Structures are given as C-alpha cells and as structure tokens.
Structure 1
C-alpha cells in the first residue's frame, strides 16, 4: 500500500527574502503553519519583526534577518553565519513598467540588479551553504508568467524573469546530484501592495482579467500553496520546472 506524500514542513528551516509583505509574507505564514521554522528576510526591520512576533504568538518558530539582497557580500556573510536551511524562497523582486522608449539606465539597473543579479548571488550563497553542510533541499525562485510570454511596457521585467527561468534550469542540473531541487513559481497578477496601483486602474484590471481564463485576480494564498508544495517532500521528484499559477494566461 503506497504512502500518501506529506505536505508538512516539520523540522525544516526556510529562508524567505522579501518576507515583509505580499507574496513573501503569505509564504512565511503558510510555512509556519505547515511546521517550518521560518527566517524572514527584508531590507527593513519593522515588518518582518512584527510578522515574526505574530507567528511566534501562534506557536510558530520565526526570526527576522534584516538584509538588502542587492548587497551581495553582506547577504552572503549573513547566510554563512546561519544554520543551513532546507528551503530557500528567492522572492525579493521589483518592476518598473514603461515602454522601452522611456526606459532609463537607472530603470535597468534597479530591475535587473534585484530580479537577476541579486537573485543569482542569493541562490549561490544559500546553495553553497547547503552543499557544504550536505543538506538536501529546495530552492524556489520567484518568477512570473512574464518569464514565459511577453507584454507591452514590461521589457525589463520579462527580460529578468526569462533570465531566472534559464538560471533555474541550469542550477537544477548542477545541484541535482547534491539532492537540491530548484524550481520556479510563475504567478499571474496577484493582489499585493506592488500591484495595487496598476490594478486600481479599471481599464488595466479589465485587460488583465480578459487574459486570465479563471476570471479573477490571483491572491497571495494561491502562491503560498504552491510554495508549500515545492518546499515539501510531496514535490521530491520535481526540479528544473516552472509551476504556472497564471489562471490560464499562457494557455493560448
């Protein structure tokens, strides 16, 4: 008789960047509920410290780690002093949507430095520690449906997420022999503080809903469920893959 796979995260330690709000916060809450010890990472202390206290009050294990992941050396030094983690959610990211004709070098540096450079070197720091400690694990790179299609006014964002998709596949090949899995989560538009200004525009929201076959804007809980799956033993044979949470956007 086969044994049902477990979606529990008991005994696992998870590091989540961009954990103070939105998708990162929802994943942290879901991980704590599933039994993981969560390390909440963000640039400012207030949000992650408040969340850590909230999770602890509910019986969870949580701590805060103040770090800007674009400080490559600083983040790596902090990771080197942590106990090895079993799950890394590489979630910090940004966007500056505008036509290419209006894109500046500062826009490029802001989006690509965080979404690509910082993400790659954050994964390097965490995976190096995993390998050194001989810890099997799961690295989850936060991508997007925009890592699989194109969209007007999102040349930089699409470029960054297509880069993360390629990086993820290559790192999965590299780390597979170490029993470290590497996958992406690819959400559609999710209601978060970052997307609120765009979704407040009725015309823009209507254009988004026209593309989403399920007919609704995504919620952070939709992403958190996928993150629990990828962090758990239920996904133990999954690596180098993209988990689409796009409501059918890329289906046609």
Structure 2
C-alpha cells in the first residue's frame, strides 16, 4: 500500500489506460478522483473497480480507497480549474495529478481543419498545462510536495504521418515536462512522462480488427505483442510512490521496444 493516505486525480479515467491507472493507484491505497467528459457509464465502472481494488486490504484497520467522479472538459480551462478545486473540496487535498486525457484526429496535413487542430491541442496540452498549474498552486498554498505524471506517447519522439497535430501536442508535453521539472524541483514537485506505444485499448479497436495492419505493427515491436493498459499503470504507480522521489524530468517509454525499431512499411 505505497500510496495509502494519498489523493490522486486521473483525467480521462472512464476507460482504457486512464481507467487502469485509477484502479492501480487505488490498489496501492490512494483515494481517486475519476474525471470524464462524455462517458458517464465508464466513469461509474471505474468507480466500482476503484472501490473494489481499494478494498483488497488484509491488514487490520486498513482504510479502504474511495473514489469520486467529476465531469470536466479538459479543453475548457474553466472546467479544468473547477475539476481541481472540486477534487480538493471533496478529499481535502491533492497529492498526485495524472494528466491522461487525450485525443487524436486522423487527417493528411493539408486536410487538417482548425477545429480538429484546436480540439487536439486544447485537450492534450492546454488542459494538462492548466490542470498542472492549478495543482501546483494548491501544493504551494499547502506547502506540500507532489507528483505530476503526464501520459505522453512514443510520438513525442516518433513521427506519425497523418497525425501531425497529435504529434505536436505530445512533443509539447515532453518539453512541458522537462521545463516544469526544473522550475518546480525546488518546491519538491516531480514531473515525469509515461509514453505508451501500441496499447490494447478501445481507441485501437479498428486496428485490432484489421489483421494486415495489426500484423505489420507487431513486426515493429521487438516483444511481438501489444501492451496492456496495466503495463502503463504499473509505471505510473511507481512514479507516484516514494520509490521515485529522486526522478524528475524523464520520459518512461512503455512500448515493447517499438520506438527504436519502428519503420514505415
């Protein structure tokens, strides 16, 4: 129970990687704020899983992890600030912020619309930026240390044709992490990225149902399989714990070796 007594907010935690992170942090003893934008039934599912995971404690008088659901659009700064403040009001504090919410748009560069560009950048980078800012204000006001963990992507390094806006947002996430690690380090706040590769999540359903494309992708992964959301969640749990207190400004790639072996077909 490495996170007992801690409170963690996981954005975009109604499904996929975000849900797995919320459940894993609960299993480590943290109370969890579950954020969603348009998938309330998924948020309720996450809440049930969080409460179940947080109740799996066999020590006498061990407190059970609790969950709380907040609806917020990470592309809207007002929503972002309310999300942080409501989290603090409910649990009394925040210790860990996981900036997981994200989206992508598939389009050739010359066909990307301003609307699609704004949607991607607003959620993937602006939302994370201002959620982190509000979290840091809280930590400064309460004179406490804290953990910021960003869910980036191998595409902070790896080009991904037809997903330029997404790649730009993740490249921005890499620099945001590095810069804040330096600026916030003196305050005892660590900032790190976890960068998944090809993970088996609902967003990849189309890929999973296309044997040809899936086979070509697997040829690029030295470990020969897609990752699972739990693979990402395990690294987040480590970074959220005191075991990672001396780690900041770093990206951890969870990709089965994809980044260093990838080539276009």
Contact 1:214 1:248 (8 Å CA) reproduced: yes
Inter-partner Cα distance in structure 2 for 1:54 and 1:160:
30
**Structure 2 vs 1, CA of residues 38 and 206 (structure 1 numbering), >3 Å: closer, same or farther?**
same
Alignment of 1:77-156 (within 5 A): 77-81=82-86, 82=88, 83-156=92-165
Which of 199, 202, 218 is matched with 1:209 structurally?
218
Inter-partner Cα distance in structure 1 for 2:217 and 2:78:
38
Which of 50, 64, 78 is matched with 2:45 structurally?
50
- 1:53 CA displacement: 3.4
- Aligned twin of 1:24: 18
TM-score (norm 1): 0.92
Taking only aligned residues, the RMSD between alpha carbons, in angstroms, comes to 1.5
- Aligned twin of 1:11: 5
Inter-partner Cα distance in structure 1 for 2:110 and 2:212:
22
Contact 1:190 1:220 (8 Å CA) reproduced: yes
- Aligned twin of 1:3: none
SS at match of 2:202: coil
- 1:137 CA displacement: 1.1
Where in structure 2 are there 5+ consecutive unaligned residues? Answer: 56-64
Which of 49, 55, 67 is matched with 2:72 structurally?
67
Where in structure 1 are there 5+ consecutive unaligned residues? Answer: 1-6
- 1:203 CA displacement: 2.4
Inter-partner Cα distance in structure 2 for 1:53 and 1:98:
37
Contact 2:33 2:67 (8 Å CA) reproduced: yes
Inter-partner Cα distance in structure 1 for 2:239 and 2:254:
13
Which segment drifts farther, 153-162 or 217-226? 153-162
TM-score (norm 2): 0.88
- 1:202 CA displacement: 2.1
- Aligned twin of 1:189: 198
Structure having greater relative contact order (Cα 8 Å, sep ≥ 6): 1
1:25-72 residue CA offsets vs partner (Å, 9 max, x unmatched): 000111111111111111143322332234325523211111112221
Which segment drifts farther, 46-55 or 172-181? 46-55
Contact 1:49 1:63 (8 Å CA) reproduced: no
**Structure 2 vs 1, CA of residues 50 and 216 (structure 1 numbering), >3 Å: closer, same or farther?**
closer
Which of 199, 212, 227 is matched with 2:236 structurally?
227
Moved over 3 A (4+): none
